[in-house]
Amino acid sequence: MIYGIALGSNLGDRLHHLQEAVRHLLMVHPTLILRAAAPVYETDPVDCPEGSQSFLNTVVEVECTLEPLELLREMRAIEVKLGRPAEHGHHAPRTVDLDMLYAGNTVLEHPALILPHPRMTQRRFVLQPLADIRPALVLPGDERSTAEHLETLQSNEPPLRILQRDWLP
């Protein structure tokens, strides 16, 4: 199954945290392979505590045989391993945040996971990197591609700044 995963970090060595998250992700299961990685963008914090550092955000696409909830468990374990508390406040600063955006054509409504991600087309920091790697992607239940969503996005988010295009070791 093909998965889209958004990554973000706004604590410490943010780029290193993103790199480590992908490194750990690639060790989750022998069938997991990296298919694409978007550039890393720097974004100003929105709705975060005063004095929060800017975020680094990107999207990767992976392929593996794990089911969505199995991969989600592994993603949460990676977050904890890289220093994010298992219990954390909404919009709290974080070493790393991993969000599953989609899992092939799966539509899922589970207490732990909703697929496709219900707010991904409303967030420039997710939509821009996703459109970089999958501009023609049309998600289940949608009629427009990620590029079309990006073109018509109404957002108060500050502009994104490309930090690094080739960021994986």
Q: Which residues are catalytic?
A: 84, 94, 97, 99
**Torsion angle of C-alpha atoms 143, 145, 151, 155, degrees rounded to 10:** 80
Contact 43, 55 (CB under 8 A): yes
* 89 alpha carbon, distance to own chain's centre: 18
The b-or-e profile of 55-77 (16+ CB within 10 A means b, else e) is: bbbbbbbbebebebeebbebbee
CA 74 to chain centre: 14
DSSP for 1-40, please give it. Answer: -EEEEEEEE-SSSHHHHHHHHHHHHTTS-TT-EEEEEPPE
DSSP letter at 57 equals E
With CA atoms as reference, report the closest residue to 140 among 101, 107, 94, 168. 107
